[in-house]
């Protein structure tokens, strides 16, 4: 069943969800969280041994997955000496459920003990040599939603939001990894070619519909953040072809083996 919204604060709701998570998984404390975005699900089995899997709707504050390619599950995975909390779906801003719902998984992970989080997504790339299936490290972001998950006079520093330490570690594992600035649009419609021109003009290299609000909430919670985009298509207007969600999922399937190996090598070192 889906847990209805309560009058509890977003932080209290995350505490409640983390308590149920401990009960359902039998794990007192998780170490690293991963949010697997569109196209990333086929990579999950490479992360390690699943010790528990539950539906997001079994936890307070979560709702059923609403986007194809997201399973609505949370998996507890053992990888070396790390206990991973893997979200196989996310709530997107364009679903209209509010910013608190978008970042509820991140806040729950923090309350469950995670000190670091890997945020992944499927997105459009603005560099022509980034063919579909190319992973790109997020070096910074531009949030075009006009929203923040933080309310009140709580001023959070976003310098080095996407950890330079973790990015350097990733390049030790895979020296060919490039970096880019991720730009989040509200969605759910894809960007226009003119908007992609704007992204290029303001210094963006990747365009998508997630991640930035979650990263801000993770920083507020004191987590170290690694962001990885899977380029699933050239951005609007670059290929001459219309964009669709099916190609996002297909690119993920095609890159599943490489993404799984990449994550399995990176995550135990975080």
Q: What is the pLDDT of residues 168-227, one digit of tens each?
A: 999 999 999 999 999 999 999 999 999 999 999 999 999 999 999 999 999 999 999 999
Per domain, the residue ranges of the chain are 10-269
Q: Is 269 annotated as a binding residue?
A: no
Does residue 1 carry a pLDDT above 50? no
Q: Is 70 annotated as a binding residue?
A: yes
- Sorting pLDDT into bands at 50, 70 and 90, what band is 66? low
Q: What pLDDT score does 254 carry?
A: 73
Q: Is 92 annotated as a binding residue?
A: yes
CA distance 270 to 259: 17
Cβ contact 263:43 at 8 Å = yes
Q: Is 191 annotated as a binding residue?
A: yes
Tokens for 269, please give them.
């070192």
Q: Name the pTM for this structure.
A: 0.92
Mean per-residue pLDDT of the chain: 90
Q: What is the pLDDT of residues 96-120, one digit of tens each?
A: 999 999 999 999 999 999 999 999 9
Question: What is the distance of C-alpha 191 from the center of its chain?
Answer: 20
CA distance 34 to 120: 8
What residues act catalytically? 191
CATH T-level topology, domain 10-269: Rossmann fold (3.40.50)
Q: Is 212 annotated as a binding residue?
A: no
Q: Is 12 annotated as a binding residue?
A: no
């Amino acid at each position: 069943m889906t847990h209805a919204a309560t009058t509890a604060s977003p932080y209290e709701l995350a505490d409640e969800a983390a308590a149920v998570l401990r009960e359902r998984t039998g794990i007192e404390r998780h170490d690293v969280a991963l949010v697997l975005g569109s196209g990333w699900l086929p990579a999950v089995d490479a992360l390690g041994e699943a010790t528990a899997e539950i539906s997001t709707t079994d936890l307070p504050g979560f709702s059923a997955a609403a986007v194809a390619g997201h399973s609505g599950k949370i998996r507890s995975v053992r990888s070396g000496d790390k206990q991973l909390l893997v979200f196989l779906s996310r709530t997107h801003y364009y679903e209209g459920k509010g910013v608190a719902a978008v970042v509820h998984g991140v806040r729950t992970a923090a309350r469950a003990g995670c000190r670091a989080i890997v945020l992944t997504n499927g997105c459009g790339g603005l560099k022509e040599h980034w063919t579909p299936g190319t992973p790109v490290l997020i070096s910074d972001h531009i949030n075009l939603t006009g929203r923040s998950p933080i309310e009140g006079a709580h001023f959070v520093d976003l310098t080095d939001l996407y950890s330079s330490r973790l990015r350097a570690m990733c390049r030790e594992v895979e020296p060919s990894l490039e970096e880019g600035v991720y730009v989040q649009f509200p969605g759910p419609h894809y960007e226009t070619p003119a908007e992609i021109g704007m992204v290029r003009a303001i210094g963006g290299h990747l365009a998508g519909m997630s991640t930035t609000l979650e990263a801000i909430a993770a920083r507020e919670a004191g987590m170290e953040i690694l962001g990885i985009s899977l380029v699933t298509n050239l951005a609007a207007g670059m290929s001459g072809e219309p964009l669709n969600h099916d190609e996002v999922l297909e690119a993920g399937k095609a890159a599943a083996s490489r993404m799984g190996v990449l994550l399995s090598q990176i995550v135990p070192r975080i």
